[in-house]
Amino acid sequence: MPPVTESDLYLLGVLLGLLVLSAFFSSSETGMMSLNRLTLNHNARIGNKSARRVKALLDRPDRLIGVILIGNNFVNILASAIATVLATHYFGEAGIAAATLGLTLLVLIFAEVTPKTLAVLHPERIAYPASWLLTPLLKLLYPLVWVVNAISNGLLRLFGVDTSTDGDQRLSRDELKTVVWESGHGIPKRRAMVTRILDLEEVAVEDIMVTRGEMFALDLDEPMDEILDDIRSSNHTRLPVHQGDANNILGILHLRSISRLLSADGDSAMTKERLHELLDEPYFIPEGTPLHTQLFNFQKHRERMALVVDEYGDLEGLVTIDDILEEIVGDYTTDHAQSASTDLYPQDDGSWLIDAATYVRDINKELTWTLPTDGPKTLNGLIVEALEMIPDHAVSLVIAGYRMEVLSIRDQRIRTARIWPAKKVEQDLQ
């Protein structure tokens, strides 16, 4: 074996330097492609210079990939040539195979797998510093990069690939919900609220409204004494006022307006005519209005309560801005009269007694169930739709894996039902 010369040591040092450069290019490519674009855009928007530089490189990914691959291939081929020269100098023709095998292992371990794994785990730590070198290198090699990209894009066009189309980086609502839920500690205790905001467009006003039968309203056909008693017993600050038929809405009474008059003049001074003068103009909205649209409409019209009507103008119920806000932040009012939990009664056998007028969405929310919500809004409607009739006696059925037993029927409406959770039903069947 010939002695080690100074030139051989020099070539060996160059070879090690080329392996380092190969690792740099490999990790840079993986780090750049693994960056979270949302985080990158945020960092660039708040003034992070490295993030801005990386974003500028990623705006033209073909050029970025071009300069990285040119550099990576150049150093790998040069390293292969130097390794072959060194191996043949010491081992003759047999050194060619040894150089190929040895350099392949070195490149695979130290210039590919290890740096790329590191880049996947910590893309920002790799991509941001790498941009300091890749940006001037791209400017230096731009003519070569342009030629390579032109030839590559030309070949792609021959196969019908449109290289001018940019990838759509916008997130759909479902993708954004996934981002929120996978954020971990990034959005602590607020992920459910954010996802509920995203779901507002899927929920309509009739899904959360107080139905016409559950509304607390004043009827001017009643004696004045009864009207005043209803006002005093009300837990609400705004009351719809009608005369006779509930569809004949005269206006909305704000209790703050009448309380001042009652405190100043007493009950005897209050008449139906004077009460009528205190009414505000009713605000009507069509059923089917998405919650996110109605939230903006409340803000636009400076209203806090709306009366929901169907396509024929018949009153269906009412919805308030508080109802929509509770869909976002959860229940926060102290009015328990409309709380779903007051209509749900747990039983010792694991079942629940439920008022059939309760909204299906409220049941799902309260018990974390998955009863279908794309049809009838109330439990009564859900059961009647499944039976395709109004039952006149106690019946049992299964809907979406939940066993239900009708317990009470009155006035052509199911009043109470017992429901077993889906998991409980599955266990019983086993």
- For residue 361, the model assigns a pLDDT of 86
Binned at pLDDT 50, 70 and 90, residue 336 comes out as very low
**pLDDT, mean of residues 299-304:** 93
**pLDDT, mean of residues 27-51:** 88
Least confident of 49-53, 264-268, 336-340: 336-340
CA–CA separation, 397 vs 355, rounded Å? 17
Please answer whether residues 389 and 414 qualify as being in contact, where contact means their C-beta atoms are separated by less than 8 angstroms. no
User: Which residues, in sequence order, are CB contacts of 301 under 8 Å at separation 6+?
Assistant: 283
- pLDDT of 1 higher than 70: no
- pLDDT of 249 higher than 90: yes
- Sequence ranges of the chain with CATH classification 3.10.580.10: 201-329
Instruction: Report pLDDT digits (tens) over 375-387.
Output: 888 899 999 999 9
Domain 344-421 has CATH 3.30.465.10: yes
Binned at pLDDT 50, 70 and 90, residue 341 comes out as low
Please answer whether residues 290 and 197 qualify as being in contact, where contact means their C-beta atoms are separated by less than 8 angstroms. no
Q: Which of 59-73, 74-88, 300-314 is the most confident on average?
A: 300-314
- pLDDT of 5 higher than 80: no
Look up residue 1 and give its two tokens: 């074996």
- For residue 90, the model assigns a pLDDT of 80
- pLDDT of 294 higher than 90: yes
- pLDDT of 187 higher than 70: no
Architecture of domain 201-329: Roll (3.10)
Please report, as a single letter, which amino acid is at residue 330: G
- Sequence ranges of the chain with CATH classification 3.30.465.10: 344-421
**pLDDT, mean of residues 108-122:** 92
Binned at pLDDT 50, 70 and 90, residue 250 comes out as very high
Binned at pLDDT 50, 70 and 90, residue 337 comes out as very low
- For residue 24, the model assigns a pLDDT of 94
- For residue 303, the model assigns a pLDDT of 94
**pLDDT, mean of residues 265-288:** 86
Instruction: Report pLDDT digits (tens) over 170-186.
Output: 666 666 666 666 665 55
Binned at pLDDT 50, 70 and 90, residue 285 comes out as very high
- pLDDT of 399 higher than 60: yes
- For residue 202, the model assigns a pLDDT of 82
- For residue 196, the model assigns a pLDDT of 74
Instruction: Report pLDDT digits (tens) over 15-29.
Output: 999 999 999 999 999
Look up residue 334 and give its two tokens: 């102290």
- For residue 232, the model assigns a pLDDT of 86
Bigger pLDDT: 267 vs 367:
367
pTM: 0.57
- For residue 201, the model assigns a pLDDT of 80
SS (H, E, C) the chain: CCCCCHHHHHHHHHHHHHHHHHHHHHHHHHHHHHCCHHHHHHHHHCCCHHHHHHHHHHCCHHHHHHHHHHHHHHHHHHHHHHHHHHHHHHHCCHHHHHHHHHHHHHHHHHHHHHHHHHHHHCHHHHHHHHHHHHHHHHHHCHHHHHHHHHHHHHHHHHCCCCCCCCCCCCCCHHHHHHHHHCCHHHCCCCHHHHHHHHCHHHCEHHHHCEEHHHCCCEECCCCHHHHHHHHHHCCCCEEEEEECEEEEEEEEEEHHHHHHHHHHHCHHHCCHHHHHHCCECCCEEECCCEHHHHHHHHHHHCCCEEEEECCCCCEEEEEEHHHHHHHHHCCCCCCHHHCHHHHEEECCCCCEEEECCCEHHHHHHHHCCCCCCCCCCEHHHHHHHHHCCCCCCCCEEEECCEEEEEEEEECCEEEEEEEECHHHHHHHHC
Instruction: Report pLDDT digits (tens) over 209-248.
Output: 988 888 999 999 999 989 988 988 888 899 999 999 989 9
- For residue 181, the model assigns a pLDDT of 63
Least confident of 96-105, 329-338, 346-355: 329-338
Mean per-residue pLDDT over the chain, rounded: 85
Q: How many Cβ atoms are within 10 Å of 95's Cβ, its own excluded?
A: 18
Please report, as a single letter, which amino acid is at residue 85: V
Instruction: Report pLDDT digits (tens) over 119-134.
Output: 999 999 999 999 999 9
Residue 344, phi then psi, degrees to nearest 5: -120, 125
